[in-house]
């Protein structure tokens, strides 16, 4: 499997509303942190992760795409090589 593209070395902190979200795991989406289907167009081999949000909340989506707790930020960005 290909390595995901590092989009940014910090989380995307978003006030989310309830509903279904698809987190971009490949890093190629132009609508970060959400999937726009780029993984299919570019044949990345990396699938997005579906999240069902039950109620409005603030979420720190992983921006580096290397979290051990995908799709959420776990601080992995601070350990990535420069």
Domain span holding position 17: 12-79
**Structural domain includes residue 18:** yes
**Structural domain includes residue 64:** yes
3-class SS of residue 63: coil
Spatial CA neighbour of 33 closest among 53, 2, 43: 53
**Structural domain includes residue 7:** no
Read off the pLDDT of residues 42-62 as tens digits, 9 standing for 90 and up.
999 999 999 999 999 999 999
**Structural domain includes residue 32:** yes
Spatial CA neighbour of 26 closest among 50, 6, 10: 6
**Structural domain includes residue 1:** no
State both tokens at 33: 């942190």
Distance between first and last Cα of the chain = 22
**Structural domain includes residue 36:** yes
Low-confidence ranges of the chain (pLDDT < 70): 1
Q: What is the pTM of this model?
A: 0.94
**Structural domain includes residue 4:** no
**Apex 5 CA angle, 40 and 51, nearest 5:** 65
CA distance linking residue 32 with residue 26, whole number of Å: 10
**Structural domain includes residue 55:** yes
Number of domains in the chain: 1
């Amino acid at each position: 499997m290909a390595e995901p593209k590092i989009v940014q070395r910090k989380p995307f902190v978003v006030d989310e509303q309830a509903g279904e979200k698809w987190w971009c795991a490949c890093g190629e989406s132009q609508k970060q942190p959400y999937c726009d289907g780029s993984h299919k167009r570019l044949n990345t081999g990396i699938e997005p992760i579906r999240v069902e949000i039950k109620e409005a909340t603030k979420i720190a989506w992983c921006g580096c795409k290397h979290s051990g707790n995908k799709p959420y930020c776990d601080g992995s960005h601070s350990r990535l090589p420069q």
